[in-house]
Chain A
Amino acid sequence: MALDNDTDPKLAEYAHPERLVTTEWLAQNLGADGLVVVESDEDVLLYDTGHIPDAVKVDWHTELNDPVTRDYVDGARFAEICGERGISRDTTVVCYGDKNNWWAAYALWVFSLFGHPDVRLLDGGRAKWVAEGRKMTTEQPMPAPVEYPVVERDDATIRAFKDDVLAHLGKPLVDVRSPGEYSGELLHMPDYPQEGAVRGGHIPGAASVPWARAAAEDATFKTRAELEAIYLAEQGLTADDEVVAYCRIGERSSHTWFVLTHLLGFDHVRNYDGSWTEWGNTVRVPIATGTERGST
């Protein structure tokens, strides 16, 4: 009982328009049977200051990550997280969040690891919804719990581990961090010095395409033509390339993973969630510094 797709003409241009909805579509469909809206933010308190009516919160740190091992939750825990939020396997899930949907894209990617069939992103995220003066509330929704099946996580198709990346060297890699992080001048995201690594630079051969290049001023995605100009014409990627995207902990690269997979229709894109906090701290892995890609 998935909801109808958004037929907005801008979205229709993308390879998989069914993965994206506009704020207008969401406003029209709020409260519909079979729809659950999920807010996923960097700031753990932001949801509580006001959210889209009936939206439930999924926190990347306390809920999607395993509390002990550096990994995602397993199928049993994921089933609980969904079930207690009223999400069943056939629910249409729409994710949105702060910071240009970084964490919303990350949540969508984690839902995809579990193969949730219908999970979409709100184009423009929380910022656009707020900027348009649309309804927000602090009222906590009380969804009736439902059954969600225990599904084994598929870590092979859209997720890359360090060893996968080592085996991938020589094939396309996209580094979505800021230019300073890529070159190695910065060991962290500007303004986030606490999440550093002991070595700076990038994975040899990786192209520098900061995630923000895919975003328009209002936090929506750029049009398909604009995205093709960046990733196809300028970077020389093609839709059947095997690509690995990475950043620092995998959230900004989820954004780029979404762009390549769902907006441009690439079939073999994996997100390396270990990203620089793993690579830049790992003994004896190859690293390139400076603005050149470096040889592999």
Chain B
Amino acid sequence: MSELPPQLAELVEEFSEVGPRDRLQLLLELSRELPELPRRYADAADTMEQVHECQSPLFLAVEVEADGERPVHLFFSAPPEAPTTRGFASIMHVGLDGEPAADVLAVPDDFYTALGLAQAVSPLRLRGMAAMLARIKNRVRTAVAG
């Protein structure tokens, strides 16, 4: 397994250190910390990409800086009545925002299994997170190639 970006590795470690009940608490806290959309997206939701694989409406935007290591910036929008989806988005945000494009692309597609959420959240729901990562990587790949 290739190395995870440091913030993401830290999150995975936090999740793996606690029991299933506390994992849900952790996810709930993360869901509250998902940043608000900046104005340029809040006013233009149609420029964002919908992650259809998630159980609740989730919109995603990816920006890749033009210089240096091409840091990636992530923006998410999900309603408050979908805390699980917000929690997944927040894991992506905390774990990957500001990381170099190459490191984001190197995150293993199944990294989320290490969070140990399958029991509590149901494996089917977790695939929404896999889809989120796949869509982020697609956007980053396109930006880097372009």
Contacts and interface: CB of A to CB of B under 8 A. Distances in A.
A191 B52 contact: yes
B24 A48 contact: yes
A69 interface: no
A28 interface: no
A62 B120 contact: yes
Contacts of A193: 52-53
Nearest to B117: A44
B91 to A, nearest CB: 13
Interface string A192-207: 1111000000000000
A46 B87 CA distance: 11
A191 to B, nearest CB: 5
A44 B119 CA distance: 11
Interface in A90-146: 98
A155 interface: no
B141 interface: no
Nearest to B128: A194
Given A45-B27, A48-B28, A195 B81 contact: no
B56 interface: yes
A62 to B, nearest CB: 6
B53 A43 contact: no
Interface residues on A, range: 10 to 19
A171 interface: no
B84 A44 contact: yes
B77 to A, nearest CB: 15
B78 to A, nearest CB: 11
B80 interface: yes
A192 B24 CA distance: 22
Nearest to B87: A45
A48 B84 CA distance: 11
Contacts of A49: 28, 31, 80, 83
Interface string A40-64: 0011111011000000000001100
A43 B28 contact: no
B45 interface: no
Contacts of A44: 24, 84, 120-122, 125
Contacts of B25: 48
Nearest to A192: B55
Contacts of A45: 24, 27-28, 31, 83-84, 87
Interface string B49-86: 00011111100000000000000000000001111110
Given A62-B120, A194-B127, A195-B124, A42 B83 contact: no
21 contacts: A43-B81, A43-B83, A43-B84, A43-B85, A44-B84, A44-B122, A45-B84, A46-B83, A46-B84, A48-B24, A48-B28, A48-B83, A49-B80, A62-B119, A191-B52, A191-B54, A191-B55, A194-B53, A194-B125, A194-B127, A195-B124
